[in-house]
């Protein structure tokens, strides 16, 4: 295992082994697994869970870490061939190899620009970085991918004994004041499909999954034995659901068009997940969300704090999932 950039780089079996390693590290800590190892964490965007869970996870394996945060350094350029006369004082073509020379692995967070869908689908920052990093590279959320979240979510469903083959996974769009990136919903759908689940993407008109992302989810379903459909009809999607995974994202039809995106979402106030939604679902249906979540906007407090909610377990599993990744990338003897 060289990098951790995308679930699609791994077979479902390899992911299952990672999840299993995460569980082992949770049950049987290995505080001396990574002595003297240094993890570099580079945030081009804000973070709470990712920063804390990576730093804590690295410490729990006996290693250490440093953090480059958006406020404490300068802006990085990633485009090729641009005369650097603007805000960015350094190019990733220098910054990444330099930071890699101090660290045994690098994690990078670089959100979508949110202006140009095609550009964001091409993962401009990670494409620019590819090949520049001689040490293992970890995607801590890119334009349209968040594999660490997906791995934690997989483990969460295993912990809950949620059915894999035959399990019904509803990824539901939800209300939010602003257009958010596609990284989490794209990764969640891909993960559930790869886990062998029946994935139903529930979203209002104007918020369809882009073709290339749908293709990725279908490819994941093909390798994992799952399936994927997309619908705007809630009752249909919720029928027999084992998981409702809520997440907002920006309009894909009006991508980068803030005014039109606002106009579309102004009519979607009923897309706040509430207990009524779960009527047609499996009685044990759980509620998942990657956090941060806006109460009474994305989901009611009643559901979020109610017996269906597994959001804290998901977040907690971020640490164990990432510890498994770090262990595989850095431990002298992987298993």
Which residues of this protein are in contact with a copy of itself, per CB under 8 A? 29, 31, 35-36, 38, 40, 43, 46-49, 51-53, 55-57, 59-60, 62, 64, 66-74, 77, 81-85, 89-91, 93-95, 97-99, 101-103, 177, 291-297, 301, 304-305, 311-312, 315-316, 319
**Cβ at position 42, least distance to a copy of itself in Å:** 9
DSSP code of residue 295: B
For residues 196 and 118, what is the distance between their CA atoms, to the nearest angstrom? 28
**Cβ at position 312, least distance to a copy of itself in Å:** 5
Q: Confirm if 146 and 139 have CB atoms less than 8 A apart.
A: yes
**Cβ at position 123, least distance to a copy of itself in Å:** 21
* DSSP letter string, 216-271: HHHHHHHHHT-EEEEES-HHHHHTT-SEEEE-----STTTT-HHHHHHHHHT-TT-
Question: Closest CB to a copy of itself among 57 and 206?
Answer: 57
Two tokens, residue 65: 């870490």
For residues 325 and 330, what is the distance between their CA atoms, to the nearest angstrom? 8
Question: Closest CB to a copy of itself among 16 and 24?
Answer: 24
Q: Confirm if 190 and 216 have CB atoms less than 8 A apart.
A: yes
For residues 274 and 41, what is the distance between their CA atoms, to the nearest angstrom? 36
Question: Closest CB to a copy of itself among 146 and 216?
Answer: 146
Question: Closest CB to a copy of itself among 242 and 316?
Answer: 316
For residues 327 and 33, what is the distance between their CA atoms, to the nearest angstrom? 7
Question: Closest CB to a copy of itself among 97 and 225?
Answer: 97
Two tokens, residue 74: 């300068």
Question: Closest CB to a copy of itself among 183 and 194?
Answer: 183
């Amino acid at each position: 295992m060289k990098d951790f950039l995308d679930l699609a780089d791994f077979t479902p079996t390899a992911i299952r082994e990672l999840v299993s390693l995460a569980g082992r590290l949770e049950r049987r800590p290995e505080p001396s697994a990574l002595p003297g190892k240094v993890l570099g964490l580079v945030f081009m965007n804000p973070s709470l869970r990712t920063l804390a869970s990576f730093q804590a996870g690295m410490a729990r394996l006996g290693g250490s870490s440093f953090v480059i945060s958006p406020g404490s350094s300068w802006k990085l350029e990633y485009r090729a061939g641009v005369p650097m006369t603007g805000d960015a004082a350094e190019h990733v073509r220098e910054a990444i190899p330099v930071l890699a020379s101090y660290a045994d692995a690098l994690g990078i967070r670089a959100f979508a620009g949110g202006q140009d869908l095609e550009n964001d689908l091409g993962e401009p920052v990670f494409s620019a970085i590819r090949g520049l990093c001689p040490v293992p590279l970890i995607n801590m959320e890119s334009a349209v991918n968040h594999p660490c979240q997906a791995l934690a979510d997989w483990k969460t469903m295993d912990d809950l004994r949620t059915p894999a083959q035959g399990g019904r996974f509803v990824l539901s769009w939800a209300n939010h004041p602003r257009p958010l990136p596609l990284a989490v919903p794209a990764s969640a759908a891909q993960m559930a499909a790869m886990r062998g689940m029946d994935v139903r993407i529930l979203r209002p008109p104007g918020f369809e999954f882009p073709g290339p992302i749908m293709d990725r989810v279908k490819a994941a379903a093909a390798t994992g034995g799952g399936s994927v459909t997309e619908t705007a009809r809630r009752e249909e999607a919720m029928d027999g659901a084992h998981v409702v995974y809520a997440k907002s994202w920006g309009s894909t039809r009006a991508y980068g068009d803030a005014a039109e995106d606002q106009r579309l979402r102004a009519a979607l106030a009923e897309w706040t997940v509430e207990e009524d939604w779960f009527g047609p679902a499996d009685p044990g249906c759980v509620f998942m969300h990657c956090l941060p979540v806006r109460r009474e906007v994305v989901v009611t407090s009643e559901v979020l704090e109610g017996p269906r909610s597994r959001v804290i377990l998901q977040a907690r599993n971020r640490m164990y999932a990432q510890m498994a990744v770090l262990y595989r990338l850095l431990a002298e003897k992987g298993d």
